Amino acid sequence: MATFASSIGFLSAVALAATACAVPALGQSFDIRSLFSAPAPSSGAAAAPTGTGTQEWSGESGASNHPLMTAQAIRAAAANFQNCLAGLWPQAMRRGIPRAVFDANVAGLEPDLRIMDLLDAQPEFTKSFWDYLDILVNEDRVQNGRAMLAKHRATFDAVEKAYGVDRHVIAAIWGVESNYGTQIGERSVIRSTATLACLGRRQDYFREEFLSALEILARGDVKPEHLKGSWAGAFGPTQFMPTSFKRYAVDFDGDGRRDVVDSIPDVVASTANNLKKDGWVSGQTWGYEVVVPTGFDFLLADRSRVLTVREWERLGIRRPGGKAFPRGDDRTYLLVPAGAQGPGFLMLQNFRVIMKYNPAEAYALAIGYLADRLRGGDAFVQAWPRHERVLTRAERYELQQHLAARGYDVGEPDGRLGGKTRSALRHFQSSVGEVPDGFASAAVLERLRGR
C-alpha cells in the first residue's frame, strides 16, 4: 500500500522529512499528485524523450544517491527495457496471465523516464507539516467531502455496517488521494509499473506491482482504458496499488467485478476492507491534539513508547481547552512533529492503521484531521512554528551523516528523517543540553556542524 508523486493531484509518496517512517514503503496511496509541483529539469540537461506528451526526463541522477538512480544507470536500463520485460514472462505465466494479455500490454511499450525524476522528489519529505496540512485540509475539501458523504449516504451506511470503519476516514482518504475522484491520474498503470520494474531503485517492489496489474486486466475487474493513475501505479479514487487491490478489493455492488475505479460502492467498501484488515478498531478515533507542558521530557515522544492516556495525563499532557479524554485506558504514543514549538498529538491504534495505507506521519495526520473536520470537528488549536525553515534534502542528508559520525544509529542516510534519525537527534540534543524534541531545525544542523 503506497503511492508516489506526479505533478498535480494526489499527495506524492510523501511524508515530510521530520515525520516519515524510517524506511518509507510504497503503499496504497503514495502519490497525491496535484498538490505539489515536480522539480523542473535543470537548464542544459540532456533530456530523453518519454512519450508522455508533457515533460521529459531531466537527464540527471536522482537525489537519493542510489547507484541505480545515476543518469548512466537509468540510460542503460532504458536501453535494456524490452529485454527486461521479456524476462518477466515466466513469472506472468506462473500466475496464469494469458500470453495474449502479456503481449498486448508489453509490445512496443517504452519506459516513462520522467518517472525517474519523480521517484526521488517526494514532496511529503520536503514540505513542513503545517504546509502539508494547509494544502490538504482546507475549507473546500471539507465542504466537498461533506457533500460526497451526503450524496452517497446509503453506500456509506451499508459499508460502515459491514466493516465497522468510520465513514469520515474513508471520505478523507478519498478527498486526499484524488480530491474526491476529480484527480485520479492519467498515466497508464501498466507503463508506470513496467518502467519502475526495470529502472530505478525499487525494481523488486515494482515487478510485483507490474505483474499484479496484468492480473487485474486478465481478470477483467477494471477496464484496460480505465487502468490509469499516478506515476507509481496507484489508481482509482482512493488510489489502490495493484498488490493492494489484490488483497483488499471487494465486489460490493455484486456485479461480478471488483471495480475500484468506476463503482462507488466497490471503492468505498474496498477502502474500508483495507483498513479493517490492517487492524482498524471500531468506535475509536485516530488520536487527539494535546498540549505538551513546559519542561516535558521529550525523550518520551517516541513511537515505541506506548502509555495509557491516564499515564500521559500524569505526565502533564492535556487536551486544549481542558477537554476531557473519552477513555483513560486507551494506549497511545506521543507525536510532536514540530518539536517543542508546535502542537503534540496522542496517537491511537487507528493512526498506525492509516500509516499502513500510506507510511507517512504527515499523510496520516492529514487524514485524521480531515476526517474530524468532515464530522464537524474544530480546527487544530495550537500554532505551528511557521518561522522555521524546512531543511533541504541535501541538508537532511548532511544532518544524518553528522549524527552517524558521532555514533548515533540513523540507519542508511537517505535525506529522509524517519524514526531512527529523530531518535538519534533527540539523544544528541539531550547530550548538548538542548530540548530533545527531535525537530530537525536549521539551528540544530549548525550545532552538528560544530559552528
CB-based contacts of 16: which residues, under 8 Å, 6+ apart? Answer: 124, 125, 126, 127, 128, 129, 132, 337, 360, 361, 362, 390
CA dist 125 and 103 (Å) reads: 38
155 versus 35: the higher-pLDDT residue is 155
Share of the chain above pLDDT 70, in %: 87
| pLDDT exceeds cutoff 50 at 434 | yes
pLDDT at 419: 82
pLDDT, tens digit, for every residue of 318-361? 999 999 999 999 999 999 999 999 999 999 999 999 999 988 88
Summarize the confidence of residues 312-317 as an average pLDDT.
98
Q: What is the DSSP letter of 112?
A: -
Residues paired with 228 in a beta bridge:
188
Main-chain phi, psi angles of 159, to 5 degrees: -70, -40
pLDDT at 17: 33
Q: What is the amino acid identity at position 231?
A: W
Q: Tell me what the pLDDT averaged over the chain comes to.
A: 88
Main-chain phi, psi angles of 406, to 5 degrees: -90, 5
Reported confidence tier of residue 430, pLDDT bands at 50, 70, 90? very high
CB-based contacts of 180: which residues, under 8 Å, 6+ apart? Answer: 144, 145, 148, 174, 237
SS3 state at 331? strand
Q: What is the amino acid identity at position 110?
A: E
Residue spans of the domains in the chain: they are: 287-374, 393-449
CB-based contacts of 136: which residues, under 8 Å, 6+ apart? Answer: 11, 32, 35, 176, 366, 370
Residues paired with 344 in a beta bridge:
290
Residues paired with 318 in a beta bridge:
291
| pLDDT exceeds cutoff 80 at 202 | yes
CA dist 254 and 93 (Å) reads: 29
Q: Which three cell numbers stand for residue 48?
A: 530523453
pLDDT at 418: 79
pLDDT at 125: 53
Inter-residue contact 343 to 381 (CB < 8 Å): yes
Q: Which three cell numbers stand for residue 32?
A: 497525491
Closest CA to 149 of 180, 112, 193: 180
pLDDT at 367: 98
pLDDT at 26: 38
Helix, strand, coil % (nearest 5) of the chain?
A: 45, 5, 45
Q: What distances in angstroms separate CA 147 from CA 7, 141, 383, one per listed residue?
A: 26, 10, 29
pLDDT at 31: 45
DSSP character string of 354-414 = HHHHS-BHHHHHHHHHHHHHHTTPPPP-SPP-TTSPPPPHHHHHHHHHHHHHTT----S--
SS3 state at 418? coil
CA dist 62 and 58 (Å) reads: 10
Per-residue three-class SS string for 139-154: HHHHHHHHHHHHHCHH
pLDDT, tens digit, for every residue of 30-89? 444 434 333 333 333 333 333 334 479 999 999 778 999 999 999 999 999 999 999 999
Q: Is 34 exposed, middle or buried (0-12, 13-18, 19+ CB in 10 A)?
A: buried
Per-residue three-class SS string for 259-328: CCCCCHHHHHHHHHHHHHHCCCCCCCCCEEEEECCCCCCHHHCCCCCCEEHHHHHHCCCECHHHCCCCCC
